[in-house]
Amino acid sequence: MSVAVAPYRHEAFNGLYLVKEAGNDLQAKGGGVMIHDEFGPLFLKHGIEEKFGLGLLHRHFDMEPSERLVELNNISTPWDETDAQSIGGALLSHSWDALLSTFGEFLAELYAKLRALGLDKTLGLRAHPGPDFDGLVEVTVGRANINFHPSEASGNNSLSGLVQVLTIFDADAC
In tens, the pLDDT along 81-140 reads 776 666 665 555 555 666 777 888 999 999 999 999 999 999 999 888 888 777 777 777
φ/ψ of residue 154, rounded to 5 = -75, 165
Pick from 13-17, 30-34, 87-91: least confident: 87-91
* pLDDT, position 173: 64
The three-class DSSP label of residue 161 is: coil
| CB contact set of 55 (below 8 Å; sequence gap of 6+) | 123, 124, 125, 126, 165, 166, 167
Beta bridge partners of 147: 138
Pick from 34-38, 96-100, 110-114, 163-167: least confident: 96-100
Whether residue 159 contacts residue 137, with contact meaning beta carbons closer than 8 Å, is answered with yes
